[in-house]
Chain A
Amino acid sequence: GAVVSQHPSWVICKSGTSVKIECRSLDFQATTMFWYRQFPKQSLMLMATSNEGSKATYEQGVEKDKFLINHASLTLSTLTVTSAHPEDSSFYICSARGLAGPDTQYFGPGTRLTVL
């Protein structure tokens, strides 16, 4: 149980285009979802926290107009990278928090974004 999926697993796009990444909790309802960014050989950096039906809370330094987050249901959150540029190339990981406790997060496998 407690499976989180991400789609796509990898994507290549041209500079200036927008890319949408989906995060789904497959067998539980996620009250909160998190989006992380991971650079090579670096730790996961929290980008934003989203609660179903409300606006996402972004971490300091993360451009909310650049990284649009929508949490439309208890099982789906999306991250849209708008007008992507090569510096946005990274590994994006989502996690979902269910009802098992505030410190229990279940992670998706990640999405590799490459912007040409």
Chain B
Amino acid sequence: GNSVTQMEGPVTLSEEAFLTINCTYTATGYPSLFWYVQYPGEGLQLLLKATKADDKGSNKGFEATYRKETTSFHLEKGSVQVSDSAVYFCALSGGSGGSNYKLTFGKGTLLTVNP
């Protein structure tokens, strides 16, 4: 079956630092890949997604590239802000082992950005 492994947190950075949160997946076929963000007290929100190999998803300065050769979808941002403090979830759907609407999540990575 499908699975997602993401970097354990928590991650603490200073404002304007570079962010990388690693995410690797196990799936057969060609799953869709996602990053969701959960701000304190709120529900998960879709941050970005990629649906095929070499696609780059981007939003709000965050980027992630679908790397099939390394089965990875690492999240990056060049300069984080205090407002980026949240929990970040990597997820996938579809592929040969799953339906195209069931999401499989990683455990989440708590990011804290200090001023």
Contacts and interface: CB of A to CB of B under 8 A. Distances in A.
A93 B107 contact: no
Interface residues of A, number: 22
Contacts of B42: 109
A104 interface: yes
Contacts, number: 51
B27 to A, nearest CB: 14
B100 A103 contact: yes
A61 interface: no
24 contacts: A4-B43, A6-B43, A34-B102, A43-B89, A43-B106, A44-B89, A44-B103, A49-B101, A102-B93, A102-B100, A102-B101, A103-B32, A103-B49, A103-B51, A103-B93, A103-B101, A105-B46, A105-B101, A105-B103, A107-B36, A107-B43, A107-B44, A109-B43, A110-B43
